[in-house]
Amino acid sequence: MSGYFSSSVGKKFFMALTGLFLIVFLLVHLIANLTLFGGADAFNAASHFMGTNPLIQIMQPVLALGFIAHIGMGIILELKNNSSRPINYAKNNAAANATWVSRNMIITGLMVFAFLVLHIIHYFVPFKFQPENIEAIGTHYDFVIARFQSPFYTFLYVLAFILLGLHLIHGFQSSLTTTGIRNEKYRKCIVTLGIAFSLLIALGFSAIALYFHFS
């Protein structure tokens, strides 16, 4: 088993599994954030549930490891591919053999990761380790809305989710294909579903930020 995951195929399979895990997390996270439109009571109730549910507390370190593993494996595979690919071949055939999104997965991934670090500092750390900072502002709802008052942060937030949407367009279908759904008759459906999910995530999170920034 260890030999399989040390192989190129095994690394890609592990990358796909962690990607699917993060896709599920994004959907759950979006649903939780959409409760902001329900007002303070709805979002505060969702925040309380997320902050006290034992299963979610257990999943938090698992999620963190999933992010780290996905990013780390992506970097390893990118370096391996670059080292084994002839320079002239890469220059002459990259545009012909792959889309811009698929060729730049490592770039979009690292940019999203950079925003994730900022997001953790601004949201997760105060919620988890500095509850007095939240109480000084008001409720969890007040704390989140206060963050979206910053034009710079809102711009970064929207940009990050646009980049994440681009990353998901290729990542979604790639993860499903790598984990076993290879039948050609399903390919078009997978591609369409991947695009729809990417738009849902990018537009959903961006709409929340923009709505509360301008309102």
Q: Cα–Cα distance between 66 and 177 in angstroms, integer? A: 19
User: What CATH number is associated with residue 105?
Assistant: 1.20.1300.10
Q: Who has greater pLDDT, 122 or 27?
A: 27
Measured distance between the N- and C-terminal CA atoms of the chain, rounded to whole angstroms: 54
Whole-number pLDDT of residue 48:
84
pLDDT in tens, 127-149: 777 766 666 777 889 888 988 99
Whole-number pLDDT of residue 73:
79
Q: Cα–Cα distance between 73 and 16 in angstroms, integer? A: 10
Q: Is the pLDDT of residue 28 over 80?
A: yes
Task: Provide the residue range defining the domain that includes 100.
Answer: 2-214
Residues counted in the chain: 215
Q: Is the pLDDT of residue 4 over 60?
A: no
| H or E element that contains 24 | helix 8-34
Contact call for residues 73 and 15 (beta carbons, < 8 A): yes
pLDDT in tens, 54-70: 888 788 778 878 778 88
Q: Cα–Cα distance between 15 and 20 in angstroms, integer? A: 9
User: Considering the entire predicted model, what is its pTM?
Assistant: 0.81
Q: Cα–Cα distance between 7 and 1 in angstroms, integer? A: 10
Q: What mean pLDDT do residues 15-33 have?
A: 87
Contact call for residues 73 and 14 (beta carbons, < 8 A): yes
pLDDT in tens, 81-130: 777 665 554 444 554 456 778 788 888 888 888 888 888 887 777 777 77
Number of domains forming the structure of the chain: 1
Q: Is the pLDDT of residue 6 over 70?
A: no
